[in-house]
Structure 1
Amino acid sequence: MKPTLLVLAAGMGSRYGGVKQIDKFGPNGECLMDYSLYDAVKAGFGKIVFIVREEIEQDVRDLFDKNLKPHVEVEYAIQRLEEPSDIIPTGIERGKPWGTGHAVLAAADKINEPFAVINADDYYGPEAYQILAKYLSGDLKEGDYSMVGYILSNTLSDYGSVSRGCCQVENGFLTEVIERTKIERNGTGIKYDDKSGKGVLPESTVVSMNFWGFTPDVFDRFKTRFAEFVKENASDPKSEFFIPLPVQEMIEEKSARVKVFETNSTWFGVTYTEDKEFVSNSLKKLIADGVYPEKLWN
């Protein structure tokens, strides 16, 4: 059975100032997501599931259905602030989604096979899709998870701070992943400043860029942990249930193991408006180098 690709495309884009998931970056008006989807189809993923906000669902369908449906199955799921309704109490005032782990839960009734998760506004490179497509097509047991790890120094923005899942890896498996926020380079190195405190991160730190591989048992596991998260954080409108949070808990409980595929592949993403020119120029270079055709889906 071919694996599925789950695309997290419901973010608000508050720092970008627009719907960056469907903004145009390629020479013929391609979104950054177009290149991810192209790589996924070539790597052998058999289905694409988009997690979107209700107000952009039709725009996403209009952009991608015509190019994808001749090649793969396509489905959509809505990330709603009030769902799962058996977990989230009524009357909570919240203006932003509950985070990437919550977004994954929105696809629970769409996926019954091993799947990968990506951000819609990140470029991961063809090799990453090839690696996870091959791994997810293998003989996996429940709790056999995976991720593609990138080098921190290759994933920063020149225009402001970012959040990253900072990883410890031993013998090819993840032993710890901690979500760090407000990471940025200054004159003396790479620093972070978040709820846990302040610190310095080595340039070579392996980080998760939200390119995960899961078996479908993860939905029940995430839901259980999300219920606990909501009980503790319902009154905080800025709290987010990031994917690394439940993954770290499962690693500590030894109920899951995460194979890490480290890569030096090119990564770039869109966080700030100022990132747009760099992303567009990076895509032009990849086309000039023959990684992609100029007209992507022809």
Structure 2
Amino acid sequence: MALLVNDMTQNFSTTSLVILAAGRGSRFGGAKQFHSFGRLNKTLMLYNICHAIDNGCQHVVFITQANHQAQLIEKVINYLPDNIKYNIVFQENADLPSECEIAPTRKKPLGTAHALWCAREVLSGNFCVINADDYYGKQAFNLVSTLSQSDSPAMVAYQLKKTLSDYGGVNRGICQLANTHELLTLTEYENIRQEGKNIYGETIHLPKQTLAENTLVSMNFWYFDQQIFPILRQLLLNTFDAKELNPTQSNEKECYLPDAIALLNTQSAKPTKVLTSHDEWFGVTYAADSENVNSKLSELADKGWFASLSENQIIKNKS
């Protein structure tokens, strides 16, 4: 496992932020996590980091591919304040439990659960996990900051209507709650889109289904403590067991953080808390989404949401 770290003292905050930045952006047409948006001309990572720092975050972990390192440094690392500790972790397919095996020809990343597994050596205490190519809004970070020292997993959920794209169908994890604040199951719906006044989505077992606009969905904003790493190890063993997989299967399988949550919920007495953000989430699933994201981030900047970023008081260029 390849690791880079800045020179600061090895001290891990319980408010660590993990950013999944290894995506290839196939539908967008490139590594969208390094694209700049809004009148401040910054990556979505930096907008999120700005909110995290405002809530006390002192440590950021970037999980990426080795060939993305230069872009990550240029577009993000150079803008971190000097007092923020960071690590760069490379998601490498070879970083698996010894009992696992994949085909040597496998190039595609193994999924978000494997990405977090690759960061196990640089994390202690509690931490949040987000996607590099999504913008989550201020409220998500405010909500998670209330969980300080909690040993129960949690997620930030959004209303479905606030997560759609105008340019094509999207996939979302639909939440089913055991009560108003605990996650029971996540069901992956595909090709979710607005048609007239209705929102439709599909699953493998259910063709075109009508979905309520206020249905809560996961956008991959998680809160964990160290108990997640034994779960990730077990999930990787279940997915890439050398005794069970043939080479063809190992070239196709992936494991995701919702799979880890499902496994965690069966093995832990602590339910996953669901925190609901009423901010609008937005991202760039398609290249055409960029115009909308530029406009919205510029509006939020005008409202002062990124004062520390625009005034260079917290996030400043190191070059």
The two structures have a TM-score, normalised by structure 2, of 0.85
Residue 83 (structure 1) shift: 2.2
List gaps (5 residues or longer) in structure 1: none
Residue 87 (structure 1) shift: 4.6
Q: Is residue 2:312 matched to residue 1:297? A: yes
C-alpha separation in 2, matches of 1:217 and 1:47: 19
Deviations 1:37-75 (A, max 9, x none): 111111111200000011001220232223224131110
Q: Is residue 2:157 matched to residue 1:149? A: yes
Name the counterpart of 1:37. Answer: 49
Deviations 1:245-280 (A, max 9, x none): 121232234444111111211210111000111000
Name the counterpart of 1:240. Answer: 254
Highest CA radius of gyration, 1 or 2? 2
C-alpha separation in 1, matches of 2:248 and 2:198: 35
Name the counterpart of 1:218. Answer: 228
- Judge conservation of contact 1:178–1:245 (CA < 8 Å) in 2: no
C-alpha separation in 2, matches of 1:212 and 1:118: 7
Residue 239 (structure 1) shift: 3.5
Of 174, 184, 193 in structure 1, the residue corresponding to residue 193 of structure 2 is 184
- Judge conservation of contact 2:134–2:283 (CA < 8 Å) in 1: yes
Name the counterpart of 1:121. Answer: 133
Q: Is residue 2:217 matched to residue 1:207? A: yes
C-alpha separation in 2, matches of 1:127 and 1:90: 40
Of 171, 189, 197 in structure 1, the residue corresponding to residue 180 of structure 2 is 171
C-alpha separation in 1, matches of 2:240 and 2:205: 20
* Code of the aligned partner of 1:283: L
The share of aligned pairs that are identical, in percent, is 31
Report the 3-state secondary structure (helix = DSSP H, G, I; strand = E; otherwise coil) of the residue aligned with 2:30: coil
Aligned-residue CA RMSD in angstroms? 2.0
Correspondence 1:102-141 to 2 at 5 A:
102-135=114-147, 137-138=148-149, 140-141=150-151
C-alpha separation in 2, matches of 1:87 and 1:76: 26
C-alpha separation in 2, matches of 1:96 and 1:296: 40
Residue 171 (structure 1) shift: 3.5
Name the counterpart of 1:49. Answer: 61
Shift in CA distance, 220/121, structure 1 to aligned 2, threshold 3 Å: same
* Code of the aligned partner of 2:63: I
Stretch deviating more after TM superposition (243-252 or 51-60): 243-252
Name the counterpart of 2:295. Answer: 281
Residue 96 (structure 1) shift: 2.2
The two structures have a TM-score, normalised by structure 1, of 0.91
Residue 288 (structure 1) shift: 1.6
C-alpha separation in 2, matches of 1:296 and 1:30: 13
Shift in CA distance, 167/90, structure 1 to aligned 2, threshold 3 Å: closer
Name the counterpart of 2:38. Answer: 26
Of 61, 65, 70 in structure 1, the residue corresponding to residue 82 of structure 2 is 70
Q: How many residues align?
A: 294
Shift in CA distance, 240/179, structure 1 to aligned 2, threshold 3 Å: farther
Residue 108 (structure 1) shift: 0.6
